[in-house]
Structure 1
Amino acid sequence: MQAILDNPKITIVRPQESLNAVNAVKLEQELDAALSQVSNTIVLLDLEKVDLIDSAGLMALVSGVKKAKQLEQRLCFCSVSPSHRIIFELTQLDKVFEIFENNKILSS
């Protein structure tokens, strides 16, 4: 049997501080641009430096996941803090989002 290795191209988006009504549109645009690159197969959203996510920020994340599915790509999340994970669980978005503990996906 032959082993097949598939090396996807990964683009990392690292928002900082807050994902809120002030910058949700900008995040949505950045995710859209990253997902629209033909050579990408995975966009990794590193939430390590995000301290607040409000409803507008959540909507931007959901919009990104929808766009990824339309383009047959993956939008994954990593370095999600416990407080953000609780928000995802309460809104049941943890069932929709592909979440990794940290950005170690890059080393595998």
Structure 2
Amino acid sequence: MQTVLKSHKIQVIRPYGCLNATNALEFERDLTTTLAQEDISNLFVDLADVESLDSSGLMALVSALKLAQNLSKGFQLYSVSPAIRIIFELTQLDGVFEIFEHKAELAV
């Protein structure tokens, strides 16, 4: 379902395929487990390989964002395709999440 790259205090999670009701709980568990680690200060989610996102996948991201805020940790999304970005825009969550087009734009 995903690949994980780890660096000092930064972790990148790269989900792929569909983020939907079938795997949203596992995805959310991976996000929250990562955020709960004391040595992680920023979590970046690379959505480049995500083909579709339903409300369950979106709620997993929202839950992780809330947890990151409560833990005073960074949580950013990047490489969001136009098809996925429209979901954030339609739900008006594009103003809630930090969304970057490319990895190079991330504020590390």
Shorter-normalised TM-score: what interval?
Answer: 0.7 to 0.9
Q: What is the RMSD of the two structures over their aligned residues, measured on CA atoms?
A: 1.7
The alpha carbon displacement at 1:37 in A equals 1.1
Q: Which runs of 5+ in 1 are unaligned?
A: 1-7
Structure 1 residue 46 corresponds to structure 2 residue 51: no
Per-residue CA distance 1:69-103 (angstroms, 9 max, x = gap):
11110110000000111110110000110111112
Q: Which runs of 5+ in 2 are unaligned?
A: 1-7
Could you tell me how far apart the structure 2 residues matched to 1:32 and 1:105 are?
24
The structure that has the greater radius of gyration is 1
1:52 match: secondary structure: strand
1:16 match: secondary structure: strand
Residue 75 of structure 2 corresponds to 75
Of Structure 1 and Structure 2, the greater helix share is in: 1
- TM norm structure 2: 0.87
1:58 match: secondary structure: helix
Residue 22 of structure 2 corresponds to 22
Change (3 A) 1:33 1:107: same
Could you tell me how far apart the structure 2 residues matched to 1:107 and 1:36 are?
21
Paired positions, count: 101
2:69 match: secondary structure: helix
The alpha carbon displacement at 1:107 in A equals 9.6
Q: Is the 8 A contact 2:9 2:39 kept in 1?
A: yes
- TM norm structure 1: 0.87
